[in-house]
Amino acid sequence: MKKVITNLILVVSSFFVTNADAQTAYITNGDDNTVSVINVSTNTVVNTVPVGNNPFGVAVSPDGSMVYITNGSDNTVSVINTFTNAVSTTIPVGHWPYGLAVSYDGSKLYVSNGNDNTVSAINTANNTVSATIPVGISPFGVAISPDGTKVYVANSGDTTVSVISTASNTVLDTIIVGNNPQGVAFNSNGSKVYVPNCWSHNLNVIDASTNIVIDTIHFGGLLIGVVVSPDGSTVYVASAGGFVYVIDAATDTVLATIPVGSYSEGLSITPDGTKVYVANYSSNTVNVINTATNTVIATIPVGFHPIGFGNFISSCNVGIPSLNINSSSISIYPNPASTLLNIHHSTCTSQETLLITDLLGTEVYKENLTGIDNTISITTWTAGLYFYCLTPALPNGEGVSVRGKFVVQK
């Protein structure tokens, strides 16, 4: 039997759906010091989590197990355990933290400290600040490149974006953008960075390989949040005027203007790209946009002055609960994995099928398990989050699905 190393994924007999296994949105409510937890499948608030004072930014860990919240006037970051929907720890950071982003392997968290002109680099293994990085004036939005090598920080007070090396935690470059840059977002392959400029009423498009602004798209209204579709084809920008602008990423032209609630700030997109969620500060609501029709299909009441600035939707697919307490155990390791994926199943039978899909639900691997221990080569798989489902076919025709997730890192 192979030894199961640190960071294995273990799915035990009674496997229940929790917020970590369901696609979930986490909305910061700035003036009632809570986070509204929304079930993305039903568009309903399923929990409300007390956090620190004046919560603002949100970042969800890649495996969906943790949610990080900046608390502005407390100078802290709350860490929510999504299995319990409770704050598990609180991390002291700089003065008035705004935006934050977690790396794709979940190991690092970067937090902008608006009144200190710094960024806190946090080691998520022990939830401590490992470095404090000087940047521009009033840093706001934060985004990490898909390969994890660079952090882009929008400095709202001096019309720049700071580019930080994650290896050295030092500023590599400073990019001149528009007036009062707010959000910042990468496309899926990391080739472009999008920065909405609130007071310039425009969106800068940056070539991430050269750190040069290659296009500027003009709008009306005060632009704040930005998100890019998983396939990189579409960009969504929130305007405080109560609109979401839809941009064709190939032509950098506006495809649609969608009316939403009053003073929309943060927005995030589901991993399959079918829905965009928009937090409306003055309306105390979240709007749900169908990306196929570019129309609002639901309005969800939340707390007082919702902000939701950052990636507030978990990337975890909806889990399926086990209906049989005698369901067997499976471990998949290491996690993250890079070249080989080891599978150990304590009671494997020839009737059990393992299915692995990528973030968008595309099948990447399927087989009937042949023994207790199996090894898969994943050298050709791209980096990202993957999901597995083990389905045993029982003699009476009924099956019990056991699900989990793991990260491939290159």
- Counted residue by residue, the chain has a size of 410
Place of tokens 């040069």: 212
State the average pLDDT for the chain. Answer: 86
User: For residues 277 and 60, is the Cβ–Cβ distance under 8 A?
Assistant: no
Of the ranges 132-136, 216-220, 325-329, which one carries the lowest mean pLDDT score? 325-329
| Residue, of 340 and 398, whose pLDDT is higher | 340
Rounded Cα gap, residues 184 and 89, in angstroms:
27
For 260-274, what is each residue's pLDDT tens digit? 999 999 999 998 899
Phi, psi for residue 217 in degrees, rounded to 5? -110, 125
Query: Would you say the pTM of this structure is higher than 0.85?
Result: no
Render 71-93 in DSSP notation, one character per residue: EGGGTEEEEEETTTTEEEEEEE-
Residues 6+ apart with CB under 8 A from 251: none
394 band by pLDDT with thresholds 50, 70 and 90: low
Q: Is the alpha carbon torsion for 30, 144, 129, 158 positive or negative?
A: negative
Of residues 357 and 111, more confidence is placed in 111
Closest CA to 272 of 173, 358, 160: 358
391 burial (CB, 10 Å; 0-12 / 13-18 / 19+) is middle
The model's pLDDT over 8-19, given as tens digits with 9 standing for 90+, comes to: 222 222 222 333
* Phi (first) and psi of residue 318, to 5 degrees: -70, 125
Q: Show the tokens assigned to 145.
A: 């490149």
Cα 44 to chain centroid distance, Å, stands at 19
pLDDT in tens, 122-148: 999 899 999 999 999 999 999 999 889
Domains of the chain: residue spans and CATH = 19-311 (2.130.10.10), 330-408 (2.60.40.1220)
Assess whether pLDDT exceeds 90 at residue 35. yes
Q: Give pLDDT tens digits for 82-136.
A: 878 999 999 999 999 999 999 988 899 999 999 999 999 999 989 999 999 999 9
Token pair of 59 as six digits: 């970042």
Token representation of residue 317: 């697919």
- The dihedral over CA atoms of 191, 192, 193, 198, expressed in degrees to the nearest 10, equals 180
pLDDT in tens, 226-240: 999 999 999 999 999
Percent of the chain with pLDDT over 70: 85
